[in-house]
């Protein structure tokens, strides 16, 4: 079955599974906007009611959250709205602005994809996202494209920042959990000619805990401590390695 055929089947299933004109609304203000929560939420409700009246949609309910827009987690209002759709009480979700659903383009695109996959409509009034219209569906696809662009830009910025830090000599990864005393001991033994296995055996014999509290040292672990040690770490050690 070609993509166009699958899309038409999805639309027909959606129209059979739900009353076509039934939708739920969702409004949100962030925790930073709590002081103006009443006005902000009411403005969103009015926009949703007006759009539903103009399009002759039956507005089943409007769910709300006072929560950060950075993530879709810990949103009981959004969860209730999606549960109503899953239960067949509505055929779509309406938000006044896409950033009320999420400030992250990636998260918003995931919800758009969920709607497309499960056969229900998502309407964002500010951007014209609406699977029931050709233009709205095209806007939904463009949102997904920009979400992918955001992912790649985040990855590029992260790699560039890590490269700069590495060039500046900043040690990346988790900070060492071993005490300076133990690290100096390991490096001193290595400088005196002890092999990785011999050092590991001595540490195990003396019951020296590993960086994460383990009781067993291995040659590879000892080698990692030595190779990651700062130059001159041995300075200040005694002639006999401390136990």
Residues involved in catalysis: 30
Q: Percentage of the chain surpassing pLDDT 90?
A: 30
**So what's the pLDDT on residue 166?**
73
**So what's the pLDDT on residue 10?**
40
14-66 pLDDT, tens digit per residue, is 443 344 589 999 999 886 665 455 568 999 999 999 999 999 999 999 999 98
Domains, the chain, in order of start with CATH, read: 3-149 (3.40.50.1390), 172-243 (no CATH)
Q: Write the Ramachandran bin of 120: left for phi over 0, alpha for psi from -120 to 50, otherwise beta.
A: beta
SS (H, E, C) 25-53: EEEEECHHHHHHHHHHHHHHHHHHHHHHH
105-131 pLDDT, tens digit per residue, is 777 778 888 888 898 988 989 888 787
Structure tokens at 50: 């007006």
**pTM tops 0.85, yes or no:** no
Distance separating alpha carbons of residues 119 and 18, to the nearest angstrom: 10
pLDDT at 5 > cutoff 80: no
């Amino acid at each position: 079955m070609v993509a166009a055929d699958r899309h038409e089947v999805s639309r027909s299933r959606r129209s059979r599974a739900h009353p076509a004109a039934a939708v739920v609304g969702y409004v949100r203000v962030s925790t930073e906007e709590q002081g103006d929560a009443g006005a902000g939420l009411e403005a969103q409700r009015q926009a949703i009611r007006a759009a539903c009246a103009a399009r002759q949609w039956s507005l089943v309910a409007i769910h709300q959250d006072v929560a950060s827009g950075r993530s879709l987690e810990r949103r009981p209002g959004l969860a209730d709205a999606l549960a109503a759709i899953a239960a067949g009480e509505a055929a779509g979700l309406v938000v006044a602005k896409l950033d009320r659903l999420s400030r992250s383009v990636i998260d918003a695109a995931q919800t758009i994809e969920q709607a497309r996959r499960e056969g229900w409509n998502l309407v964002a009034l500010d951007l014209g996202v609406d699977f029931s219209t050709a233009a709205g569906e095209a806007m939904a696809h463009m949102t997904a494209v920009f979400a992918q662009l955001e992912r790649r830009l985040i990855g590029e910025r992260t790699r560039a920042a890590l490269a700069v830090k590495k060039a500046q000599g900043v040690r990346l990864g988790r900070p060492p959990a071993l005490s300076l005393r133990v690290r100096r001991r390991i490096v001193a033994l290595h400088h005196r000619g002890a092999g990785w296995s011999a050092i590991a055996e001595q540490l195990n014999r003396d019951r020296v805990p590993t960086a994460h509290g383990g009781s067993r040292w291995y040659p590879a672990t000892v080698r990692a401590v030595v190779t990651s040690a700062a130059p001159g770490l041995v300075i200040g050690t005694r002639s006999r390695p401390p136990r």
